[in-house]
Structure 1
Amino acid sequence: MQHDRPDISLTLGADLRALRKARGLKLTDLATKLGRSVGWLSQVERDKSDPAIADLRQIASALGVSVSMLFRHAPAPAGEAGFIVRREARRPIGSPIAGLTEELLSPDLTDDFEMVHSTFLPHSRIKEPVSRPTQEVAYLVSGRLDIEIAGTTHSLRPGDSFRIRGEAFRWSNPTSDPAVAIWVIAPPVY
């Protein structure tokens, strides 16, 4: 399908389906939350219909993602869509947590996992532990990061990695420099 709005990801429908399924929602569940018909939602998920901006805001809210995550910020060159993500085309994802910027490295959310580029600003931290029904592995590329997993804090340096299997965790960047990590999360949650 040719989208009339080039800012909408060509994988919007597939991404919405993956996000809905990752949250354990049926088409009827999400359609009810949105106050829309199952047929309409099915058409959106199959890229047969382009939702309006107001619909995208409502869908993003119902799925717990940012609206910007549903948009492509730079079109992929012919032959690269679905395969290559250029640095300038990364989609911002995640919750608006102060001090954390997350970008999707995966071309879309249709795989069994997602790959995320996370930048933690100096002296930033998440106050409350987070627990997700996921398995996550992360690799610290630069900076320093303290990660608390199941109540135990670990100080990480570049080259270190860690795994979380549904345990509660929280992070902090105790330094004056940004920290950058690459995360692989299964199943996709953003």
Structure 2
Amino acid sequence: MGDENIGLTIKDIRKSRGYSLAKLSDLTGLSVGYLSNVERNKNSPTVSSLRKIVDALDITVPDLFNNDCSKRKHLKKSERKEIIRSKKEGIKYELLTTDICKEMEPLLLTVKPGASSGEEQHQHEGEEFGFIIQGELTYYVGDDKYHLQAGDSIYHKASDFHSYKNEGNITSISLWVVTPPSF
């Protein structure tokens, strides 16, 4: 990809994140007009502006040059990226795609026996779908408690308060698909 397509790439990624120009403006401190001109390749962003934009979109500068949202992506197990979403012991999240233009976030969640997301339930915008591959996971949505075992699934609005705990004796492995993506 040449420099002439950076603006279009920024626009594609911004839209995939569900951000309006006004939202990106709020996140970067850059004006809507300036950002619009960058996206239409009318202005070339300064290094400082580009840093603000990539930080707000949670990408790197090289991502702007390696972006191809139209192709299918294949990710080998050895290429998975572990993400730090929780500082809790015994919990690991692995991102199952490297596509920066995704509209959903597929994750592999590994929870050791006794580990949990914490005492406090959390919420965010979007939706969540979980499928238990191995072991079991106790999942809380508001006041409701679900004992999920291998083969079980759950779906809920992410705006509902939720949390989880592995109350079993073996490591729980589950597939989660979350919208909107945050990594």
The SS at the match of 1:118 is: strand
Q: Partner amino acid for 2:82?
A: P
Assess, with a 3 A threshold, how the Cα gap between structure 1 residues 92 and 120 changes in structure 2: closer, same or farther.
same
Q: Partner amino acid for 1:89?
A: E
Q: Does 1:91 align with 2:89?
A: no
Cα displacement (A) at 1:126? 1.9
Paired with 1:41 and 1:91, the residues of 2 have a C-alpha distance of 32
Q: Which residue of 2 aligns with 1:104?
A: 95
Assess, with a 3 A threshold, how the Cα gap between structure 1 residues 42 and 138 changes in structure 2: closer, same or farther.
farther
Q: Which residue of 1 aligns with 2:163?
A: 170
Q: Which residue of 2 aligns with 1:31?
A: 25
Paired with 1:167 and 1:41, the residues of 2 have a C-alpha distance of 35
Alignment counterpart, residue 158 of structure 1, candidates 125, 150, 166: 150
In structure 2, the gaps of 5 or more residues are: 4-8
The SS at the match of 2:128 is: strand
Q: Partner amino acid for 2:56?
A: I
Q: Partner amino acid for 2:114?
A: H
Alignment counterpart, residue 145 of structure 1, candidates 106, 122, 137: 137
8 Å CA contact 1:104–1:114 kept in 2: the answer is yes
Q: Which residue of 1 aligns with 2:6?
A: none
Assess, with a 3 A threshold, how the Cα gap between structure 1 residues 85 and 172 changes in structure 2: closer, same or farther.
same
Paired with 1:117 and 1:12, the residues of 2 have a C-alpha distance of 28
8 Å CA contact 1:109–1:188 kept in 2: the answer is no
Q: Partner amino acid for 1:18?
A: S
| Total equivalences in the alignment | 166
Q: Does 1:118 align with 2:91?
A: no
Q: Does 1:188 align with 2:181?
A: yes
Q: Which residue of 2 aligns with 1:179?
A: 172
Cα displacement (A) at 1:130? 1.7
Computing the radius of gyration from Cα coordinates, the structure with the larger value is 2
Paired with 2:46 and 2:174, the residues of 1 have a C-alpha distance of 34
Paired with 2:62 and 2:111, the residues of 1 have a C-alpha distance of 23
Q: Partner amino acid for 1:145?
A: L
Q: Which residue of 2 aligns with 1:136?
A: 128
Paired with 2:79 and 2:109, the residues of 1 have a C-alpha distance of 15
Q: Partner amino acid for 2:128?
A: E
Q: Partner amino acid for 2:124?
A: R
Q: Does 1:59 align with 2:56?
A: yes
Paired with 2:144 and 2:163, the residues of 1 have a C-alpha distance of 10
RMSD over aligned CA atoms reads 3.9
- Normalised by the length of structure 1, the TM-score is 0.64
Assess, with a 3 A threshold, how the Cα gap between structure 1 residues 154 and 92 changes in structure 2: closer, same or farther.
same
